[in-house]
Chain A
């Protein structure tokens, strides 16, 4: 099956810092989503991005499908950004999650 690897696995930032999270996938995909899982387990949709770049406030995402990767940028990080970030790739009728990046933002 498709392999989806995220890096780094863990990241600690000072509040106000910027960061880039990466998602690599091993095969062609139909689409890709980025999620933020909060400490209570809720998965929050960030981006649905098959290709190109999208921006939403302090967050932006870029997917380069031909090179099988996606990037999530977080600027001016806040403590509320803490949690686990997952990418999920869509193939056929299902989608599979990456390994996740655990982000901690300290004040």
Chain B
């Protein structure tokens, strides 16, 4: 079973609308959780990072939340733009010397005009 599960798998939203992506993980204990954005044909790029003790982190129109008790994270996109069309990947880094990141399969977002 994958250690990081994301939902919805894909969604289509109208330009200007908001959306929220979900990430549930089982990695424990963990060092940090990142949301990456992957544009078509490109490598993933980090959007936000949160450690165990952080609850929320913003990067422009992107706001990530973290509930370490329920092992859930969300990424909220405000006032979506066409350039937000991408795959958003939740990545959890375990603690300790292990550098093996746990990846979700991503949320595919399509923003339409």
A binds B: no
Contact surface of B with A, Cβ cutoff 8 Å: none
